[in-house]
Structure 1
Amino acid sequence: VKMAIFPLHSWLPDAYTQSPTPITAIFSAMTGIGGYAAIRILYTGFPSTLRSWGFMMTLAILALVTILYGGYMALAQDRLKTLLAYSSMSQMGYLLFGIASQSIMGLLGAILIYVAHGFAKAILFMASGLLSKSAGSDRIRDLSGLAGRMRLMSIAFMIGFLSLMGFPPLLGFWGELLIFAGSIYSALSSSLDAVRLTVTLIAIIAAMITAGYGLWTIRRILFGEQSDLVRRSKPEPLLLLAPMLASALLLIIFGIQPTILTKLAEALA
């Protein structure tokens, strides 16, 4: 429920859209805590479940459905905060898929997804709040042409979305790579697990398809003809943009050197 995994996700869109944007930015980073709790509980309290093929495959299939459903619903949204809510749901699907991979590699990928999601959503929800204040709307159709008006915000905004899409060399890329590589490794080790391999390949295709909501949003908001609201808005002062730019920089640094996080995760395990 805490991770908003399908079909226990219905609370998430309302919670995100009805909360004040600063609270939502923090709340989005905390959504993945359910994943961390699942890792700690399963690996320390119920290690026998990790060897249960049926249980782990059930989690993997739920994760796949969550990835697809969250991405599909994100594509259908016109309000930026609602789109980001369903995007978080899709990201939690990746995290659960890593937990269900039955491999250390997939588990490390899930941790990287958790960190990348926290930084990326902090950027995007801060941008949503600043745009709502400056332009007076968070509807995507009202925010076109932002890149020509607010360049620094647009750069951070793009980095946040590209990381969610798994674009190299950002941190989100390594998270998705390790998750899928770990699941494939589990499917091919000892004896061929055709079901797990099939589910993983479908998840990889789903990741490519659901990346469309990121490209669609980047295109509609950053590029194209400037809307009247964007044209009349004033660029935000650098002080307000500093947290967004710092988060974007960390996505790049950890993407170039993901071993900083993987070694830390191994040390804390």
Structure 2
Amino acid sequence: MKTELPDALLKIAVETALVAGKEILSVYETGNFSIEAKADKSPLTSADKLAHAVIAAKLEETGVPVLSEEGRAIPYAERAALTRLWIVDPLDGTKEFISRSGDFTVNIALIDEGQPVLGVIYVPVLDELFFGIVGDGAYKVEGTSRFKSIGELMATAIKLPLKSDGARYRVVNSRSHMNERTTAFIDSLRQKHPDLEIVQRGSSFKICMVASGEADIYPRFGPTMEWDTAAGHAIALAAGKHMVKADEQGDLAYNKENLLNPFFIVQ
């Protein structure tokens, strides 16, 4: 990787994701955490809250506003005037956290003029880090805990996508959001790729799999919010992949009045 980073904010985002991930693991490993229901009936754990507090405190130092799933909802009238903001999911995959599948992530993205320009995703259980800046490249680090400094960690990162192993065409989809439209889409792919392989994973890790070349496509025909996808979107773009609306085509936009995403496809 280049020794000169195009944006100093990347180091801050990487450090923040790693610290938040370690806080999440400290809760996960004990198995002792509280669970409550949010207004949309989705679960919220004490680990979500802890990660949000860590991320909000560290990113506040950048002077860039933070829009977090677990934080204060910035009114659209205020957000609309922002050219740059962080969009964060402190713990993406809370259901996976609760079920102890390990498929949960920390998502941090920097949005500029409605587009993702920087993304960091950390997978605490695997100790894997993905990060990228659009136009500069995307990278992966395995075993982040072995490095003594963020600079050393980032200097030894592997550029994405990785070389394909020549395996079958791989479709990655959600463990918990399979539906009829997704099934029909996969069936249509099977006409071109009779021996395709379906891989089920949780959280934004699915986008990382496409960015890294471990999967060929990720179709999402179910609801997601901007904080679910922003970091992965940036990493996918930085890796030379595409993430487009499933129905109308065109790129996903961020910092919208309605933070709900359209259906999309990553490939």
- Relative to total residues, which structure has the larger strand share, 1 or 2? 2
- Relative to total residues, which structure has the larger helix share, 1 or 2? 1
TM-score normalised by the chain length of structure 1: 0.30
TM-score normalised by the chain length of structure 2: 0.30
Greater relative contact order structure (CA < 8 Å, 6+ sep): 1
Q: Which has the larger radius of gyration?
A: 1
